[in-house]
Structure 1
Amino acid sequence: MNDAALPFESYGVSHKGCVRQLNEDSYLIEPRSGLWLVADGMGGHDAGEIASASIVEHLATIGIASSAPDLRARFEDRLSRAHAEIRGISAARGVTIGSTVAALLAMDGRFACLWSGDSRVYLVRNGSISQISRDHTEVQELLDRGMITPSEARSWPRRNVITRAVGVSDDIVIDFQQGEVLPGDIFVLSTDGLTAHVTDAEIQAAVVSAAPQTACKKLLATVLERGGTDNVTIVLVRSKVGHNGRSAGPGAYRSEG
């Protein structure tokens, strides 16, 4: 299969930002496998970089799935292997390390998003943006309980405290959403280094009428112009107009077994 035959076009960028000395983010683009992801490592020194890189290294072996359920099963298997490896490194070093992950799976005209932590997946469809993922953070939990308002959340002092990550707890817990891919859909995967400086409306405006490469570079430039206080990683995936992928039907990405 050549690139022209693929139903998606995609591009990714990653930068350490203007403050951090090391980039602990990683990303993966595997269009032939139907997989894209970003990962934001944490743990201090080079440990965060090791954690996010472990996720990418294991998921890069996902191969070509036979069906949408097989693709999800392969994803969960590789992520579990990365989780175990990160846990082993944590035990050996006597420190807690881990990584967020936000992934897009696409096959047979359907998509699935899986995530743990505060890296995000957005969908831009028909000129409107929606956040598919839901942050696993302390501030999101407070919002959900009605204990703080959205305006208070934007300046909450512990707004970056995450409640889930790969490699941190004994068991790996990921959330999941799925749907149909429509021609022209744009998926935006990003670490929180993007959303710390760029609003949802600005993300939408940047991606809606530009090729993924152009949009990624524009968003990165905006982050850096505004101070880039964290590592930033952006992956854009656009469904090509006129794609006639087969629908796998409801529940396409439910795991087998």
Structure 2
Amino acid sequence: MNNVALPFESFGVSHKGCVRDLNEDSYLVEPRTGLWVVADGMGGHDAGEVASASIVDHLATIGIASSAPDLRARFEDRLSRANAEIRGISEARGITIGSTFAALLVMDGRFACLWAGDSRVYLVRNASISQISKDHTEVQELLDRGMISAAEALTWPRRNVITHAVGVSDEVVIDYQQGETMPGDIFVLNTDGLTAHVSDAEIEAAVLSAAPQAACENLLETVLARGGTDNVTIILVKIGDRRNGQAAGPHPATAGGRDR
């Protein structure tokens, strides 16, 4: 049975921040197809936004899948097409451009999170937050090898060096985690402009104290009040309960964009 139509409440916001001239982030909110994506472009003026928009534009064509494996297959096909397009643009311009991404797929009572780079997916379940994704960064690799401590990682001079992204190689290297959804689950997808200014505990408190739209807007306001040194994009997805219809009536799907 196709269960894409679980009651969702989801919302997304994006902002260029207080320092950057352009917003190179893009995002996709598609509750009808069970897909949510944030993408953070890299490559400088007019290039990063092209890369992130390519990911969103291709993923927006997925349509309604027949099963969870079909949804995953469609996702990977579109991501591969975006990678090829970005590679072509890089070659034509004589520069290297790319984009991180983090995605949530939900269908048939299960979820899959897929990502490349340092855009993140969190899950707030039973009033506790956990980071599902694991950053593809130089500093994370050093942490994994035990070469630096968690405290040192916070101030590491090359902490934002990305090790995987879409468009930087012929093959897309992605990671994923999957599991079962539970009523009340809240997924948070974000680019690193959020976590540069807001702690995991603050994210948890924000999403537990307000509905997705208000929580997104409150988190964005916090980032901007603290200097907004990067573009920031945030998507919240709350899983409802089929029995009582909680969390029904999602925010109208936004095909994607760079809001402000």
TM-score calculated relative to the size of structure 1: 0.92
Tell me the CA shift for residue 112 of structure 1: 0.2
Distance in 2 separating the partners of 1:118 and 1:44: 17
Tell me the CA shift for residue 71 of structure 1: 0.1
Distance in 1 separating the partners of 2:73 and 2:244: 25
Matching residue of 2:192: 192
Distance in 2 separating the partners of 1:171 and 1:184: 36
Structure 2: segments with no counterpart, 5+ residues: 246-260
Distance in 1 separating the partners of 2:193 and 2:157: 16
Distance in 2 separating the partners of 1:234 and 1:129: 16
Distance in 2 separating the partners of 1:113 and 1:198: 22
Matching residue of 2:254: none
SS of alignment partner, residue 188 of structure 1: strand
Matching residue of 2:130: 130
Is residue 236 from structure 1 mapped to residue 236 from structure 2 by the alignment? yes
Matching residue of 2:27: 27
Tell me the CA shift for residue 244 of structure 1: 9.0
CA RMSD after TM alignment: 1.2
Contact 1:106-1:112 within 8 A present in 2 as well: yes
Distance in 1 separating the partners of 2:209 and 2:241: 13
Matching residue of 1:91: 91
Distance in 2 separating the partners of 1:113 and 1:170: 22
Matching residue of 2:149: 149
What does the per-residue CA deviation read over 1:71-117, in whole Å, with 9 as the maximum and x for residues that have no partner? 00000000000000000000000000000010000001000000000
Structure 1: segments with no counterpart, 5+ residues: 246-257
Tell me the CA shift for residue 209 of structure 1: 2.7
Distance in 1 separating the partners of 2:112 and 2:104: 6
SS of alignment partner, residue 100 of structure 1: strand
Matched residues, percent identical? 83
Contact 1:109-1:244 within 8 A present in 2 as well: no
SS of alignment partner, residue 165 of structure 1: coil
Distance in 2 separating the partners of 1:132 and 1:36: 15
- Which aligned pairs between 1:56-67 and structure 2 lie closer than 5 A? 56-67=56-67
Matching residue of 1:168: 168
Higher relative contact order, structure no. (Cα contacts within 8 Å, ≥ 6 residues apart): 2
Runs of 4+ more than 3 Å apart: 241-245
